[in-house]
Every structure is written in C-alpha cells, then in structure tokens.
Structure 1
Amino acid sequence: MRITEARVIVCSPGRNFVTLKIVTDEGLYGVGDATLNGREMAVAAYLQEHVVPLLIGRGSDRIEHTWQYLFKGSYWGAGPVTMSAIAAVDMALWDLKGKRLGVPVHQLLGGRSRDKVLVYGHANGRDNAETIAAAERYRDLGYRAIRLQAGVPGLEHAYGVGRGDLFYEPAETGSPPEHVWSTETYLDHVPRLFAEAREALGWDVHLLHDAHHRLTPTEAGWLGHRLEDYRLFWLEDPVNDLLQDGFRHLRRHTRTPIAVGEVFNSVFQLHQLVTEQLVDYLRTTVLRTGGITPLMKIAHLAEPYQVRLGSHGATDLSPITMAAALQVDLAVHNFGIQEYMRHSDATAEVFSSSYAFDDGYLVPGAEPGLGADIDEAAAARFPYERAYLPVARSVDGTVTSW
C-alpha cells in the first residue's frame, strides 16, 4: 500500500487546527493532528514543504521506519515543530494500518489493558465560589476527577480561567493578551480554594490543580506541603519542566503527587524524572512527543518505575489527537488518567469521533483505525485566524511563565 497523496488542512472552528490526511493507492486514507497552539502555520509549512514530498511513493506499513527516517533525517532533533509534524504522519499511518486490517489501533498495540479510560474535566471560575459551583456541575455530570483553577484576588486574570463552558479557550486573535501575575498572592490563595472545595465536594471526587511552571522548587515544595491535607490527585507543572534537578528538591518537601511533561518533545527530556522517580504522572501527549510510536516507548520506560500516563488533552488538540491518545490509554498497563475537554460545537462540525463520555470515563468506539475523521468541506467553512496564547508579567513588569 503506497502513499499517493498527503494533504495539509488548516482550519479554525473555534480555534486553529492543522490536520494531515494521507491517501494510498488502495483508496484508504489516514488522518493525523499536527496542531501547535499559537504556532500552527509553522507546522503546516514544515509538513507541506519538507515532509509531504518525502511521503509520496513510500509504503504506508513501515511505521517505525518512517518515524526514524523523518526524525533522524531532520538532523536537528526534537523540537515542537518537528515533532508535531512527525506526530501527524505517525497517527495517520497507524490509522491507515488499523483501517486496512479492520481493527482499532489499540488492538495493534497489544489489545486492551482496560475497558474504559478515566478522565478529568476543568472547573474554572473568577473566584472560589464560582469554581466550586462549576466543580459541582461536573460531579453531577458523572465526573470522578476534576481540575480546579480559580481567579486570584487582586489579579484581573488567572491561568485556567478563560472563555468556554466545559472547555477552556485561552488563545485570542490579534496581539497576545497580557496578564499580571503575583506568585505571593497565588500561594496564599490556593490552599483556601482546596479547603473550601473539600468542604463542598467531599472526598469521593479526585481533585487536581495546575501551577503551570510558575513556581521555584522552594515555592512549589511549600505549596505541595500545604495541599497534602486535601489529598490532591496531582499538582501539575509546579516548576519549569526542564529544571529536572528542581523536582528532586521538590520531592523532599511534599508527598503531593506530581504531574509534568505536556511540553516535552522526546523521551530524553523525561528520562531523569522517570528513572529517579521524581514524578508520578507524565503529561506527555501523543502529538507533542511525535506520535503513538514514541509515546508507547515512553509508557514502557515509565512502567517499571511506577510512573503513569496522564496525557494532556486540552482543546488545543483536535479530536484526532484525543482518539489517538485513547488508543494508547487503553493499551498500556501504566495508564493513570486522561485530560478531557469537550470541544466546541463548531469543532464537532468539522471533526467526527467515536468515543463517548459515560459516568466519568471515555469509552472508545469499535471503528477500525483511530476512530476519528475530518470533514474537509466543513473545514473549509472555518478559515485560519492567527491567534496567540497570553503572555504573563509579574507586578513589576517582568515577563514570566504564563
């Protein structure tokens, strides 16, 4: 089965997505997601100008070989643009193989380790009361795990509090929005949020929180220690992902489970964190790490160290990535939890998917391949719009992590 065509589709049904569609001489096609939030056209150009010409005429079955060809052949190694492009190819080839054999992709990865995938939703609000009310709505919908992000008193904006209901949209058209940040105010506020949340929600629901890379190891250790009484499922991205020694410092100061890795591009960036057991969950995505092929290797590396997958799954990834992530989540033994934001109605017009939410879990369909697709005619109704993620500044004007 030879590749005869590969199309790059860019659209903006609520937010921007980049999709690769690979077509073969047997009439089958596979789809992959290549979206890099805020830098979408960089990946689209990389695919169109540098990857698609290499695919035409190649066999579609040699997935590992093609992955290595595109990765090692680039010479420059892992980076978000390169890996997002390679991921789209990898997803599409797995989709093709599953369709050709008539089975879902997880059957090609060893079959199911579980029947359904635990997911968490995002409860956001301008203050604690609004966030807790949102969490109660999630609980009433059947969610068993909920991430809490609330506005911080005295700060006009806060990470995790954005547009959307049951999803969170931070990117905006025009120039990047700028948000003012105060670590001191945040650290004082977050323990109060979780004290109030446990009082209102009880202990039968998992609670999560994202610090979004903004803390020093000492600050993160202090916060993790303060949150131990509220039994978080995890504290996400407490310090900069690349400051791996900082996680060793953090581990000595808190028993709160730590999750990290949504910006990682390769197994080499998380090797120390895994082998020294400095984290509990890996947030690496099937998209950002280069596809299903490398994410399976990451999962197998992490399993003996009792580190579990908790892949990123925000709406900056299309339903194709969610479908691909679920195939891995079903197959690997050391799965932990899957982030799940529901996409907007406009996105659902363009992308179809076979997975469904049921009582706190995502249950995949039985369709062969990934179980997701794109409607190109519908995509054409939503042309690309340049958009940026926010930029954060400390109160003195210094640029800091958003």
Structure 2
Amino acid sequence: MKITDIKVFVTCPGRNFVTVKVYTDEGLTGVGDATLNGRELAAAAYLEEHVVPCLIGRDPRMSEDIWHYLYRGAYWRRGPVTMAAIAGIDTALWDIKAKAANMPLYQLLGGASRTKVLCYTHAQGREIGEAVDAVGERMSQGYKAIRAQVGIPGLPDVYGTGDGTLTNTADDAGLPKEEVWSTTKYLPRIPQLFEEIRAAHGDEIHLLHDAHHRLTPIEAARLGKDLEPFRLFWLEDTVPAENQDGFRLIRQHTTTPLAVGEVFNTIWDCKQLIEEQLIDYIRATCVHAGGPTALRRIMDFAGLHHVRTGCHGAADMSPICLGANLHLDLWAPNFGIQEYSGYSEEMLSVFPHAWSFEDGYMHPGEAVGHGVDFDEEAAAKHPYKRAYLPVNRLEDGTLWHW
C-alpha cells in the first residue's frame, strides 16, 4: 500500500478546523485533525509546504517510522505547529491502518478496558446562582461530571463565564479580544461557588474547575486548600506549566486533585509532573500531542505513576480529534475522564461520526477506523475566518496568562 496524495482543508463551520486527508493506491483514505486555534494557517502551511511532499509514495501502515521521520527528521523538533501537523498525519494513518484491519481503532490498540467513557461538560454563569442553575441543567441532560465556572464581581465577562458559545472568538476586526483579570477578586469567589453547588445538587455529582494558568503556586495552593471541603474531581491548570516545580509547592499544601496538560506537545512536557506524581490527571490530547502514536505513550507512562488520563476536548479541536481520543480512552487502563464541550449541528454536518453520548458517558462506536469522516462538499460552504483566542490583562494593564 502506498500514499498517493494528501490534502489539507481549512474550514469554518462556526470554528476553524484544519483537516488532513490521506489517500492510498488501494482506495483507503484516512482523516486527521491538525487544528491549532488561532494559528490554523500556520499548521496548514507547514503540512502543505514541508510535510506532504515527503510522504507521497510511503507505506501508510508504517505509522511509527513516519512519526519519527516527521519528528526527528525535521531537526527543529516539538512546538505546537509541528506537533499539530504530525498529529494530523498520524491520526489519518491510524484511521487507514484500522480500516485495513477491518476493525475500530480501539481494537487495533489492544481492545477495550471498559464498556463506556465517562465525560464531563461545562456549566457557567455570570453570577453564582446562574452557574448553580446551569449545573442543574447539565445534570438533567445526564452528565455525571461538570466543570463549573463563574463571573468575578467587578470584572467584565471573562473566559468560561459568558454565553458558552462554540463559535470563533475575536473582536469586530477579527483580532484577539482583551479580557480583564483580578486574582484577588477570583480567589474568594470560587469556594463560594462550589459551596452553593454542593448545597443545591448534593455530593454525587463530580465537580471540576479550571483556573486557566492564572495563579501563582502559593495562590493555587490556597485555592486548592479552600476547595477541599467540596471534594472536587480536579482543579485544572492552576499555574503556567513551563516551571513545573511550581506544582510541588501546590502538592505540599492541598489534597485537591490536580490536572494539567492541554497545551503540552510531547511526552517531555509531561515527564517531570508524571514521574514525581505532582499531578493526578494528564490532559494531553491527540491533536496537540502528536496523534495516537504519541498520546498512547503518554498514557502508558502516566499509568506507571498513578496518573490517570483526562483528555482535553474543547470545541476548538475537531470531532476527528474527539473520535481518536475516545478510542484511546476506551483502551487506556488508567483512563480518568474525557472532556466533551459539544459541537454545533453545523460542525457535525462537516464531520459525520460514529461516536455517541448517553447518560453521561460516551463511546467511539464500532465503525472501522476512528469512526469520524470529513464531508468535503459541506466543508466548502464554510470558508476560513481569521480568529484568535483572547488575550488577558490585569486591571492595571499588565499582560497576564489566558
């Protein structure tokens, strides 16, 4: 079997997605997600100009060799653009391999370790009462685990507190929105939120919270300690993860479980945190961490150190990424939970899929391959629109972590 062509598509059915489609001389095709939110055209150009010419004529079943060829062979390793491009190719190749074997991807990985995949979704509000009601609404939809966020008094809407839109984020000129942040106003607010959620909805629902890298280690330690009475499933992205020693200080002061890793690109980003058991959940995901080949290694490595998986699953990754994640989730012995923020009908029309949701759990389906396809005709109706993730500033104007 040989690769005869590789096409790269950038489409915007509400959000920008970069899709890789690999064609073979035996008629099998595979699709992968190479989306990099706010830098979509960089990933697409990397693929079209540098990656695709090197792969024509290669055997798509040699995904391990191709992965190392694209990673080691480029010399300039790692980074979000490179790893998103590798992920797009790698996911498409695993799709082809599973189709050639006439089995769903999770079977090719070694079979299922469970019958279904626990997932969590998002609930938010500008005020605490609104957020509490939003949690109740998600519970009525069957969710067993919910990430709760709330607005901060005296600040305009920030990430996780507005209308929860799934569409591209940008200002009227198509440039990054600028949000305002205050940690001193945030820290007392969050324990109040979870106290009221527990009072309204009881102890059975799993609750999660995302600090979005905005705290210092001692601030995160204080928040984790304040949240202990409310038994969170996890506290996510407390501090910027570049300086991973910060997690050691947090760990010393709180028993609230810690999760991080959605921005990680390789196993090397995870190594210290996992080896030293400074986190409880690793949130690396297929499209950002180099595809199933790389994510499977991260999952196995985490399992050796009592760290469970918690794949990132926001709507700025395409349904292809979610489909691949779900196959890995079903297989991974140390699975923890899968994020599922949902997709619009417009998005799903471009990406027909076999995965399903029922009563708080997901399943990748039994279709051969990873079970997600790409409708080129539907995609053509939704051309690319420039968009960015927001930028964050403190009240005095200092640029801060978003």
Tell me, in whole angstroms, the C-alpha distance in 2 between the residues paired with 1:364 and 1:261: 22
Tell me, in whole angstroms, the C-alpha distance in 2 between the residues paired with 1:284 and 1:143: 22
Query: Match of 1:181, as an amino acid?
Result: W
Tell me, in whole angstroms, the C-alpha distance in 2 between the residues paired with 1:61 and 1:170: 35
Tell me, in whole angstroms, the C-alpha distance in 2 between the residues paired with 1:343 and 1:197: 26
Query: Match of 1:370, as an amino acid?
Result: H
Comparing 316-325 and 171-180, the one that deviates more: 171-180
2:55 corresponding residue in structure 1? 55
Q: Deviations over 1:144-173 (max 9, x none)?
A: 000001111111022212444xx6456225
1:158 corresponding residue in structure 2? 158
1:137 corresponding residue in structure 2? 137
Gaps of 5+ in 2: none
* Structure 1 residue 86 corresponds to structure 2 residue 86: yes
1:191 is paired with a residue whose SS is helix
Query: Match of 1:113, as an amino acid?
Result: S
Comparing 247-256 and 129-138, the one that deviates more: 129-138
Q: Deviations over 1:40-87 (max 9, x none)?
A: 000000000001111111101001000000000111111000000000
1:241 corresponding residue in structure 2? 241
Tell me, in whole angstroms, the C-alpha distance in 1 between the residues paired with 2:16 and 2:300: 32
2:206 corresponding residue in structure 1? 206
Instruction: List aligned pairs for 1:340-355, cutoff 5 A.
Output: 340-355=340-355
2:269 corresponding residue in structure 1? 269
Query: Match of 2:169, as an amino acid?
Result: A
1:187 is paired with a residue whose SS is helix
Tell me, in whole angstroms, the C-alpha distance in 1 between the residues paired with 2:50 and 2:85: 10
Query: Match of 1:183, as an amino acid?
Result: T
1:23 corresponding residue in structure 2? 23
Structure 1 position 281, deviation (Å)? 0.1
Tell me, in whole angstroms, the C-alpha distance in 2 between the residues paired with 1:148 and 1:170: 21
Tell me, in whole angstroms, the C-alpha distance in 2 between the residues paired with 1:55 and 1:283: 30
Is the 1:2–1:57 Cα contact (8 Å) retained in structure 2?
A: yes
Is the 1:353–1:373 Cα contact (8 Å) retained in structure 2?
A: yes
Relative to structure 1, is the Cα distance of residues 118 and 33 closer, same or farther in structure 2, using a 3 angstrom cutoff? same
Q: Identity over aligned residues, as a percent?
A: 56
1:302 corresponding residue in structure 2? 302
1:321 is paired with a residue whose SS is helix
Tell me, in whole angstroms, the C-alpha distance in 1 between the residues paired with 2:232 and 2:69: 42
Instruction: List aligned pairs for 1:168-183, cutoff 5 A.
Output: 168-169=166-167, 171-172=169-170, 174-183=174-183
Structure 1 position 108, deviation (Å)? 1.0
Tell me, in whole angstroms, the C-alpha distance in 2 between the residues paired with 1:352 and 1:99: 16
Query: Match of 2:170, as an amino acid?
Result: E
Query: Match of 2:357, as an amino acid?
Result: F
Gaps of 5+ in 1: none
Comparing 297-306 and 39-48, the one that deviates more: 297-306
**TM-score normalised to the size of structure 1?**
0.98
1:123 is paired with a residue whose SS is strand
Structure 1 position 364, deviation (Å)? 2.2
**TM-score normalised to the size of structure 2?**
0.98
Query: Match of 1:172, as an amino acid?
Result: A
Is the 1:163–1:170 Cα contact (8 Å) retained in structure 2?
A: no
Tell me, in whole angstroms, the C-alpha distance in 2 between the residues paired with 1:118 and 1:311: 11
Structure 1 position 127, deviation (Å)? 1.2
1:247 is paired with a residue whose SS is helix
Tell me, in whole angstroms, the C-alpha distance in 2 between the residues paired with 1:147 and 1:162: 14
Structure 1 position 119, deviation (Å)? 0.1
1:270 is paired with a residue whose SS is helix
1:257 corresponding residue in structure 2? 257
* Structure 1 residue 371 corresponds to structure 2 residue 387: no
Q: Deviations over 1:110-161 (max 9, x none)?
A: 1000111000010011111111111111101110000001111111022212
Tell me, in whole angstroms, the C-alpha distance in 2 between the residues paired with 1:169 and 1:75: 36
Tell me, in whole angstroms, the C-alpha distance in 2 between the residues paired with 1:54 and 1:128: 53
Tell me, in whole angstroms, the C-alpha distance in 1 between the residues paired with 2:167 and 2:220: 26
Runs of 4+ in 1 over 4 A off after TM superposition: 167-170
Is the 1:145–1:208 Cα contact (8 Å) retained in structure 2?
A: yes
1:57 is paired with a residue whose SS is coil
2:228 is paired with a residue whose SS is helix
Query: Match of 1:52, as an amino acid?
Result: V
Tell me, in whole angstroms, the C-alpha distance in 2 between the residues paired with 1:247 and 1:108: 36
Query: Match of 2:303, as an amino acid?
Result: E
2:286 is paired with a residue whose SS is coil
Is the 1:161–1:168 Cα contact (8 Å) retained in structure 2?
A: no
Is the 1:170–1:390 Cα contact (8 Å) retained in structure 2?
A: no
Query: Match of 2:348, as an amino acid?
Result: A
2:352 is paired with a residue whose SS is strand
Tell me, in whole angstroms, the C-alpha distance in 1 between the residues paired with 2:125 and 2:8: 37
1:232 corresponding residue in structure 2? 232
Query: Match of 1:199, as an amino acid?
Result: A
Q: Deviations over 1:361-401 (max 9, x none)?
A: 00221100000011000000000000011111000000001
Relative to structure 1, is the Cα distance of residues 235 and 355 closer, same or farther in structure 2, using a 3 angstrom cutoff? same
